[in-house]
Structure 1
Amino acid sequence: MPTSHRRPRPPRGRSAVTALMLALAMAAFPSSASAAGTRAVDPPSQLTALPAQVARACGLWHDQLDWPATVRPVDYRLSDGRYLRGGNEYDNRDGDLPAATGYHEYDVNPRPAPNTRRDAERLVREVATGQVWYSADHYADFTEILGGC
């Protein structure tokens, strides 16, 4: 008689019970990633605690450009000849920021010319409240700026 190399099958019903127990354990003890979402919102921070370019960008958008709110991104020419892009709607699809309508995104770092490569740093502003969040990594993480910009 030939020798069989098959592993013995578990008794029927055992895998279903194991799957059910695993599902119940996962529901009772959610991982931190599923409990908090896939992205992070850091604790609020004073503007002075963030990188210097964030304060400069806040000043440009607030003082010179008056936080434009547009449907599509626009390149705005600064007095020194560089460009900042922003004003377009930010959808908050991942729900990382508080539930609200009217978010708009703004570049942090000026570029030498329109339509040139943008870096990852962004400001996101809620129009109704004026609250602003900073993202150093293209929306992977957010830091709320206390008092806005």
Structure 2
Amino acid sequence: MNDTALQSSLLPGQQLARGVSRALRSHDFVAVEELVPTSGLRVDVMGLGPKGEIWIIECKSSRADFASDKKWQGYLEWCDRFFWAVDSDFPTELLPSETGLMIADPYDAEIIRMGAESRLTAPRRKVMVQKFARHAAIRAQAARDPGFISAF
């Protein structure tokens, strides 16, 4: 599948997540999408930095998408920094000023505002790095052998 076909098959939030994940690599972070830090929460993008820092990025494709998100504050205890990723047409004045902001498209993202840092405790960081590693490994194995992984 070529890049244009792949992009057109993605929902708007997935297109933002793709650009965010690409941008994180330029900051020496690796990223996974749709990670569950705890029951009832699923983050759009989680980034893991070279020193073990954890960033959570929530992708919002519209005002309605943002207004319907009632769980985002629950993500704060699972990361060192929290960001919103929106496209260039999003009304950014709706987003809380103490959170980070990225302007994204399917190909890249730019950090406009760094989220406030709130360092995870060592035990919570260990849990999150393990969840990240397992999630990434499952995704990699599913890409290589989709029939096997989906059976579990």
Instruction: Please classify the TM superposition score into its range, dividing by the shorter chain length.
Output: under 0.3
TM-score of the pair, normalised by structure 1: 0.26
Structure richer in helix, relative to its length: 2
Larger Cα-atom Rg: 1
TM-score (structure 2 length as normaliser): 0.26
